[in-house]
Amino acid sequence: MDSNNIRNFSIIAHIDHGKSTLADQIMTLTHTVDQRSAKPQLLDNMAVEQQHGVTVKAQTVTNFFIAKDNQRYALNLIDTPGHVDFSYEVSKSLAATEGVILLVDATQGVQAQTVANFNLAKAQNIKILPVINKIDSLNADVAMVKQQILELDVDFSDSDILEVSAKHGTGVENLLEEIIQRIPMPKLDHSVSGLKALVFDLSYDNYQGIIAHVRLFSGELRANQKLHLMHADKKFESKTIGIFNPNMVEKDALHAGEVGFVVTGIKETDQIRVGDTITTQSSGALEPLRGYEAAHPVVYAGIFPKDDFLTMKSALFKIALNDSSLSIEEDYSDALGPGFRVGFLGNFHLQIIRERLKSEYDLEVITTSPNVTYKVHLKNAQLLAINNPINFPDFSDIDYVEEPVVTVQITTLPETVNQVINLSEKYKGILTDLNNLSNLVQLTYDMPLSEIAYHFFNALKSETHGYATLSMGKIVYQPADIVKITFDINYSRVPQLTYLTHRIDANNEAQALVHKLKYTVPRQLYPMPAQAIIEGHVIARVDIPPIRKNAAVSGDKKSISKQQVLLRRQSLNKRKSKQLTFELPQSVFDIFLEI
Ligand code: GDP
Ligand code: MG
């Protein structure tokens, strides 16, 4: 199709403002799906998405529409992930578009995620169409919401703002006309003659291998074409190509400006990432498109398979295909065997990945305590970057430690500002700026990355009933008093439980952790102490009771001396074992995610 007749766009919105409903309505109106087969929320199809109510993985669909000018247009709707924690993926999707629909619920108004998403789109320099949804609702206050939208951006004027009911379809046809009028036709790269296709999403099919979702900026893509993935430096031959309508429909060729898929036939998943550029092997492009960034994980954790290492490896890399922030390296633990050191965007991200391993691949894994990367300056002037607590050096060798501190922006409602301020203080945040938007407050903090990555995000969400958004900015390193806590169970060290924290929190956290151990470590026939140790000193201890009564309490009929003999024998047994003779379940490792 002529690129004059193509529009590539996304819908961005606060959760529940009607993004999925509008996408469904557009697909119905353009007969991409017929009314009868239209399932609610066609685009959200991952189990995890449905559970968390967020779109994790982006999906695409081409809708054909005959406009008032009697011309046929291809309207490519590229779905964006709907969670702030996944904003890196939002940007990847937006890089494939020339515009967005900024959807705002008429009963709710501009909300935290509206602002966060608006900022992302603004940063990408693409056309923003403000649209008010749910105008059919009795609680709609269109005039008020218009005012809020106008305050978002001086470039908006009253007449720019469209009104729809995604549910009933009111105004949706007009919206499509406006998309054609106001969103620019695809920008093409005229500097090259060869093929340049941006990979903005990836999926995996057991028979066909990796399927790349692409947006062409120049050239032509065909089936059975010799192609080259520029960043991965991988050569392959396209099997089939085509568009999503909404299912995969084969085409002979895709042209500059178009959006579609390439079946690559590639089965190795460990090199290919979203953001890569596809070109041809001969007379291809010399420079890849912008849009490729290596993974920027902030938290690392060990992930170990309960069963088969290779099955887990394959599953992890398939997940990483469309999750470009995940970094994966092989790792080995004496106790847990072969596994991976995986980098995440935060604990919430770690949870999502664990749930995806379970729901999509039926895999149970052991996850060790998450860690940011510390810079450890040794007395011998050596500098170490440590993201695995097991490698944290002995305190006697350390000169000083630096931790990552990040600038975060929190957007919330005026009524929860006090809770947010208290919470941020508790997590060592230093307030640097406070801004009032029309109905929202924006707070800027410098905060240790570890606090945000481990617990602050979840705490913020629960304090604000899931409302506030948090976006992270620049990371700098600052000196911090970090200590290593190690744990002994029954006098044997359990290296996988090693944990790094701020010294001022160490006591409280160690107490909380040993108490959790008391209820998660499987009980044995003998009592076992669980101890937390810092710099050679035991700072917390609990006794894990035995399954059966032990000699000290069950010997009521025996003489005192017999009891003592038994006790001595028990404690000798204990001290002899250097390694735990039983396995620790995942619940033991989860204690770090809970405190
Ligand atoms: P998303 O989270 O942005 O994808 O929001 P959904 O599309 O799932 O919509 C959230 C809720 O709002 C659902 O219960 C929809 O039925 C409802 N909804 C969506 N659009 C409209 C609308 O135009 N009018 C009314 N009254 N409800 C709507
Ligand atoms: Mg949705």
Q: Is 103 in the pocket of ligand 1 (CB under 6 A)?
A: no
> Which sign, positive or negative, has the C-alpha torsion 392, 395, 400, 405?
positive
ipTM of the complex: 0.99
Spatial separation of the C-alpha atoms in residues 289 and 276, rounded to whole Å:
8
Pick the CATH number of 196-280 from 1.10.3720.10, 3.30.950.10, 3.20.20.70, 2.40.30.10: 2.40.30.10
Q: Is 520 in the pocket of ligand 1 (CB under 6 A)?
A: no
Do the two domains 196-280 and 375-480 of this chain adopt the same fold?
A: no
- 101 CA distance to ligand 2 centroid (A)? 14
- 469 CA distance to ligand 1 centroid (A)? 20
Per-residue pLDDT averaged across 248-274, rounded? 91
195-215 residue pLDDT tens: 999 998 888 888 888 999 999
Q: Is 299 in the pocket of ligand 1 (CB under 6 A)?
A: no
> Which sign, positive or negative, has the C-alpha torsion 342, 345, 347, 352?
negative
Q: Is 169 in the pocket of ligand 1 (CB under 6 A)?
A: no
User: Is 122 a known ligand-binding residue?
Assistant: no
Domain 299-370 has CATH 3.30.70.870: yes
Minimal-distance CA residue to ligand 1 atom 11: 16
Q: Is 117 in the pocket of ligand 1 (CB under 6 A)?
A: no
The CATH class given to the 375-480 domain equals: alpha beta
User: Is 18 a known ligand-binding residue?
Assistant: yes
Q: Is 18 in the pocket of ligand 1 (CB under 6 A)?
A: yes
- 167 CA distance to ligand 1 centroid (A)? 7
Using DSSP bridges, classify how beta strands 99-105 and 6-13 pair: parallel, antiparallel or unpaired.
parallel
pLDDT of residue 377: 97
pLDDT of residue 295: 65
Question: Quick one: pLDDT band at residue 551, thresholds 50, 70, 90?
Answer: low
Question: Quick one: pLDDT band at residue 230, thresholds 50, 70, 90?
Answer: very high
DSSP lists the bridge partners of residue 409 as 444, 471
Domain ranges of the chain: 3-182, 196-280, 299-370, 375-480, 484-593
Residue 249, CA distances (Å) to 61, 62, 246, 465 in order: 11, 10, 8, 42
430-462 residue pLDDT tens: 999 998 877 889 999 999 999 887 788 888 888
pLDDT of residue 370: 86
Domain boundaries 3-182, corresponding CATH code: 3.40.50.300
484-593 homologous superfamily? Elongation factor 4, C-terminal domain (3.30.70.2570)
| pTM for the predicted model, two decimal places | 0.78
Query: DSSP of 89-108, one letter per residue?
Result: HHHHHHTT-SEEEEEEETTT
Residue 546 near residue 490, CB atoms below 8 Å: no
Minimal-distance CA residue to ligand 1 atom 19: 18
Minimal-distance CA residue to ligand 1 atom 18: 18
Q: Is 166 in the pocket of ligand 1 (CB under 6 A)?
A: yes
Residue 149, CA distances (Å) to 98, 125, 128, 162 in order: 20, 18, 11, 11
Per-residue pLDDT averaged across 586-593, rounded? 80
Look at residue 291 and tell me whether its pLDDT is greater than 80: no
